[in-house]
Structure 1
Amino acid sequence: MTVPGSVRAIAVVIPARDEEELLPAALTSLRTAAAHPGIESVRVLTVVVADCCTDTTAAVSRAAGALVVPVHFRNVGRARAAGVRAALGVIGGPPDGVWIASTDADSSVRPDWLAYQAARAAEGWDAVIGTVNVDRWPAGRTDLADRYRRLYENSRPPADLQWCHPHVHGANLGVSTRAYTVAGGFPPTPLNEDRDLVEALERTGAHLLRTSDCPVTTSARKNPRAQGGFGDHLIELDRTLLDIRTRRQPTPP
């Protein structure tokens, strides 16, 4: 089965800093997604940008068949942009028909993740802005998981309506090369590079699909790589719950 439309190649870009523990699961999920029958005629190139890595991230990536781009930025925006440049250089040819998919080293994609994005590209969407599900919650912390879900989904409409959600995640983002280039690409910022790109896409008139139909699973780890990002958001939620529990404790007589 060939994806209708013009998608001829997909570049998957993953920034990584010392991710030898979680990266193998991410790369395994991507290999499965790349083998989906819906994109059997589409070239898929996975690029891992090893940013200031001191562990075996690069070796793990190469063993999984990924292209490794070593950099020393300590900057996720520059790392994602470097990964895109490297991927487009390897794929070559005109930008038409090349789709850029972004995810994270601590995340696992669904088997149909790439096929879903390619199908949306064939429908004429310039970018797909997806949601995430969180796993690996700390043991016994159902309160944290429940609070996260309530806040994350507080704008979700009734079940029979499409959720045009407000979220942006570098772990679940796809964009055509042409729209990416017009918008200026990932900015060289250490935080919110994904949100800034989407805002630039909006300013340039790109056709954006915000959807929860194909979520990516990401971790709730306590040692996030990007300070001020999604991991720190979860840590702040945990602190808030701790404050609430502390205030509820009875005052000793």
Structure 2
Amino acid sequence: MKISIVIPAHNEAETIAQCLASVQIAIDQLPSTFTASVLVVLDSCTDDTLRIVQAAGVDYLCCYYQCVGQVRDLGIRHAIVNGATWLACTDADSSVSADWLLQQIEHIRHQKTDMICGVVTVDNWSHLSLYTKKAYMAHYQDKMGHRHVHGANLSFSKEAYLASGGFAALACHEDVDLVNRFEAQCYAITWSNRVRVLTSSRLQARAKEGFGAFLANLETVS
């Protein structure tokens, strides 16, 4: 199996190095029978993100879509052309767990899944209100069988991705749209809390209706 980790990035100089370091740790845990590569897709970056990616020795593409759905699709299709059979997505403001890839492999082996929807843990609550934390914790189900969808923690097979049509050209909720199409075509989806990612609690969201916007809305209510 050849795994490709695809990471979209728009002006992520503050977080991309930590993200890439965590992904490398996850790759280092893999058995020798697996190969893995990393691809960063830089979208309209005007900061030092490109320089940091180059210094890390990671493959990258540059584009100017300003549309996360197009960015993810570009990276996934590029990875597939280069031989990837399993695609794992995370975000540049997130850090994957050390066993992130190992847990995916376990699900593939035992459940013959076509897609894995993992969970996220918020990295820092200190700048958020107690109301926001409590409301989030009451809403979020950190368990097997959860129904949360995160582009920062989503993986799938090459065959199912291509058959489903891939990520749509959406500025937000491209991840939910893809999962919906997998479900509509009766692909096997594993909703796992064993596949874990630590994600940023920043309120300056890159996607207008993304995770940061969700937290910001809770802050507004509080």
What is the TM-score normalised by the length of structure 1? 0.83
Q: Which moved more, 1:140-149 or 1:14-23?
A: 140-149
Superposition deviation, residue 75 in structure 1: 0.2
Superposition deviation, residue 57 in structure 1: 1.0
Superposition deviation, residue 187 in structure 1: 0.8
- Corresponding residue of 1:86: 78
RMSD: 1.5
- Corresponding residue of 1:134: 122
- Corresponding residue of 2:38: 46
Alignment of 1:69-80 (within 5 A): 69-80=61-72
- Corresponding residue of 1:19: 12
- Corresponding residue of 2:90: 103
> Partners of 1:63 and 1:119 in 2: how far apart?
32
- From 175, 182, 187, the counterpart of 1:194: 175
> Partners of 1:40 and 1:225 in 2: how far apart?
36
- Corresponding residue of 1:247: none
- Corresponding residue of 1:114: 101
> Partners of 1:120 and 1:66 in 2: how far apart?
27
Note if 1:168 corresponds to 2:145: no
- One-letter amino acid of the structure 1 residue matched with residue 151 of structure 2: G
> Partners of 1:77 and 1:27 in 2: how far apart?
21
Q: CA distance change for structure 1 residues 67 and 187 in 2, over 3 Å: closer, same or farther?
A: same
Superposition deviation, residue 131 in structure 1: 1.0
Superposition deviation, residue 212 in structure 1: 1.3
- Corresponding residue of 2:194: 213
Superposition deviation, residue 55 in structure 1: 1.1
Is the 1:22–1:106 contact (alpha carbons within 8 Å) kept by the matching residues of 2?
Answer: yes
Is the 2:150–2:175 contact (alpha carbons within 8 Å) kept by the matching residues of 1?
Answer: yes
Larger Rg: 1
> Partners of 1:81 and 1:206 in 2: how far apart?
19
- Structure 2, unmatched stretches of 5+, are none
- 4+ runs of 1 displaced by more than 4 Å? none
> Partners of 2:36 and 2:183 in 1: how far apart?
27
> Partners of 2:64 and 2:128 in 1: how far apart?
38
CA shift digits 1:118-142 (9 cap, x unpaired):
2222231111111111012243733
Is the 2:128–2:219 contact (alpha carbons within 8 Å) kept by the matching residues of 1?
Answer: no
- Corresponding residue of 1:9: 2
- Structure 1, unmatched stretches of 5+, are 1-7, 157-161, 242-253
CA shift digits 1:50-101 (9 cap, x unpaired):
00001111121122222111000000000000011221223x3xx7xx1000
Which structure has greater strand proportion?
A: 2
- From 28, 36, 52, the counterpart of 1:35: 28
> Partners of 2:185 and 2:209 in 1: how far apart?
27
| Residue-pair matches, total | 221
> Partners of 1:185 and 1:191 in 2: how far apart?
14
Is the 1:99–1:118 contact (alpha carbons within 8 Å) kept by the matching residues of 2?
Answer: no
> Partners of 2:208 and 2:20 in 1: how far apart?
24
Identity %: 36
Is the 1:134–1:218 contact (alpha carbons within 8 Å) kept by the matching residues of 2?
Answer: yes
> Partners of 1:189 and 1:143 in 2: how far apart?
31
Is the 1:121–1:176 contact (alpha carbons within 8 Å) kept by the matching residues of 2?
Answer: no
